[in-house]
Amino acid sequence: MANFETVEVTTDLLILGGGFSACGVATEAAYWAKKNGLKVTLVDKAALDRSGAVAMGLSAINQYVGVRDGENTCEDYVRYVRQDLMGISREDLVYNIARHVDSTVHLFEKWGLKIWTDEDGKYVHEGRWQLMINGESYKIIVAEAAKNAIADAGGEIFERIFIVEPLLDGNKCVGAVGFSTREEKFYVFKAKATVATMGGAVHVFRPRSVGEGFGRSWYPPFNTGSSAYFTIRSGAEMTCQEVRFIPVRFKDAYGPVGAWFLLFKSRAISAEGGEYMAVRKEELNNWAPYGLAKPIPANLRNYLGMLDVDAGLGPLYMETAEAMQKIADAFKDDPKGYKKKVKELESEAWEDFLDMTISQAHLWAALNVKPEEKHSEIAACEPYFIGSHSGASGAWVSGPEDMDTPYKWGYANMTTVNGLFAAGDASGASSHKFSSGSHAEGRFTGKAAIKYIVEKGADPNIDNAKVDEIKAKILAPLDRYTEFSGFTTEPSVNPNYLQWRQFMERLQKIMDEYAGGVTAAFKTSKSNLERALELFVFLKEDSEKLAADDIYSLERCWENMHRVWQAEAHIRTMLFREETRWPGYYFRSDTPKMDDVNWHCFANCRFDPATGEWEMSKKDVWNIPGV
Ligand SMILES: Cc1cc2nc3c(=O)[nH]c(=O)nc-3n(C[C@H](O)[C@H](O)[C@H](O)COP(=O)(O)OP(=O)(O)OC[C@H]3O[C@@H](n4cnc5c(N)ncnc54)[C@H](O)[C@@H]3O)c2cc1C
């Protein structure tokens, strides 16, 4: 076996991931841990300052309720999420996040984040819930607070450790194992409670950008389904695994469209000039009541554009020039003011990209795009898993302790596995938490996890023989490469193994063609999904033949295994839900309508680690009374 030193770390609370929700967990848990003499340990596969989906920065905080200024209520937010998710959301979780999110935003400001304010000192809104920020250093600021909190409580942070598997003691999570992405070290983390916050997943589906463009995607390439893998393999019940997210973005560099739609009030049109949201308005009747209420759910907006593309009316365009012209027109009688306004709008347009998707600015520059002169192409991206944004996939977690919710079996945000908590993209059915809501959810999850440790935390019971077995399995791709790579003159062609890229492309091909990817125009059906599952049997069999020539490739092998489990949960749940509820995200051509009688419910799944079987179940949707 590859000669990796084993490093053991014992802690009370283990935080897996270092993104927005992990920083929330760390900030709050460290406070309560210090009071109770407990240790907090955080493990990130990257470096905390620039890890996760916010690595590059953001131009807006997408969830701010504004209770302080009487702008909205938490109930308003619950109604908004219910509407956007076509009626399927865990309202207890959404409410819990909404009532904590404003204080999180105020903390961000206290820690040094510049939130735009107007001449009266009020926050500048991009839309009803969004605040404009100077967000290039957003992640660094939030990470610094987490680091300080952990240091103050005497905890530890491990960076560049890739977490692979959970450690289990029956239906209890007692830690995790992983390996360093820099040194030959295998890590065993033993913990009384563990919080999974390892983000969502990208590259499960074949991306539009392949070959030289590979790695360019809307969702950052470093989150690879580890939250889903970890919770599924622990035996946790999962929810909304069918609810993927497909954003419509500027094509090929995936630049954000929020500022264009919300701030500049831009229109999206087909190549023939029709505004699909207006031309295809009648279609919304088929998706009542959600299609007829405002705001129109993101998936339905996508869907109307997709209908144009299906009808041969593509490409689609964002009418940038028209939008900028309209705003500047208010100054048309004042030539100096007009010029100044146009300049201001231009710089806002570019800044939007430079804050969070620099590659889009490169692409515009490379293609000589002048947004003030000509429209720019937009397109539906390949599907992603991001439960904190407009998707909803994640673990099924316990509701807040002080709310009269039917979904309550333990501590807030604990999964159905004892001692295993989830937040951010890792917790399901509570979309639209975004960066701020993920941090807020992290905070109360961290507090609940410490409470669990104080009240129930026993020393972790670890089966060392099992750990040795897992270590051998994790390092096996390195051994396989050493054993067989000399068999051929070209190491990438070998009858004894396959490499991570070959394996990933096979996974992506299955997902793309059978599970409703770009090639299949986001459509699938029972027969296609069943065929995907047949091919998955062979894919999983061949995963035993993965080979890695170095630590970097070993990480890629395991990232792809994590994707496979996210993919399987997705296929099984789309197969289980015999209706089409989120056209624009995916369309089941054999059950093309929404069926509220049978499917106004959560579709949950669970992998049983003891038997290796999957179970599917329906769970009722509960609405907060009076909301
Ligand atoms: C393109 C894009 C644009 C967005 N725009 C906005 C916006 O404008 N405003 C807004 O408020 N929100 C926005 N969001 C949403 C926001 O980024 C997420 O809601 C938030 O980051 C989710 O937090 P998280 O902790 O769940 O995941 P992340 O912040 O992504 O963190 C995941 C963490 O897990 C780590 N990790 C992953 N796998 C492993 C592993 N195996 N072992 C150890 N560590 C691991 C990663 O390194 C990272 O530290 C956007 C998201 C995306 C993708």
Express each pLDDT in 91-137 by its tens digit: 999 999 999 999 999 999 999 999 999 999 999 998 999 999 999 99
Whether 62 sits among the annotated catalytic residues: the reply is: yes
**Residue 294: DSSP 8-state:** S
Mean pLDDT estimate for the chain: 96
Instruction: Answer yes or no: are the C-beta atoms of 574 and 528 closer than 8 Å.
Output: no
The answer for residues whose C-beta is within 8 angstroms of residue 305's C-beta and 6 or more apart is 248, 268, 276, 316, 378, 380
In order of 139, 200, 203, 355, 606, the CA distances from 52 in angstroms are 9, 9, 15, 15, 26
Could you tell me where the DSSP H helices lie in 367-461? 434-456
Centroid of ligand 1 to alpha carbon of 25 (angstroms): 14
pLDDT in tens, 26-51: 999 999 999 999 999 999 999 999 99
Ligand 1 centroid to residue 334 C-alpha, Å: 45
Cα separations (Å) of 94 from 245, 294, 496? 18, 19, 49
Residue of the CA atom closest to atom 35 of ligand 1 = 17
Question: Could you tell me the pTM of the whole model?
Answer: 0.97
Task: Classify strands 185-190 and 5-10 as parallel, antiparallel or unpaired.
Answer: parallel
- Does residue 266 carry a catalytic annotation? no
Contact between residue 555 and residue 504 where contact means Cβ atoms under 8 Å apart: no
The answer to whether residue 209 is catalytic is no
Place of tokens 């820099």: 182
Please confirm, yes or no, whether 352 is among the known catalytic residues: yes
Burial track 350-389 (b if 16+ CB lie within 10 A, e otherwise): eebbbbbbebbbebbeeeebebbeebbebbbbbbbbbbbb
Can you give the three-state secondary structure of 174-208, one letter per residue?
A: EEEEEEECCCCEEEEEECCEEEECCCCECCCCCCC
Residues whose beta carbon lies within 6 Å of some atom of ligand 1: 16-22, 43-46, 51-54, 58, 60-62, 162-163, 197-199, 218-220, 222-223, 226, 386, 388-389, 424-425, 434-436, 438
CA of 388 to the centre of ligand 1 (A): 8
For 145-186, write each residue's pLDDT tens digit: 999 999 999 999 999 999 999 999 999 999 999 999 999 999
Amino acid at 56: M
Reply yes or no on whether 126 is catalytic: yes
Q: Which of 116, 389, 390, 558 to mutate to test the pocket of ligand 1 (most atoms within 8 A of CB)?
A: 389
Dump pLDDT digits (tens) for 413-459.
999 999 999 999 999 999 999 999 999 999 999 999 999 999 998 99
Express each pLDDT in 596-613 by its tens digit: 999 999 999 999 999 999
Give the Å distance between the CA of 226 and the centre of ligand 1.
12
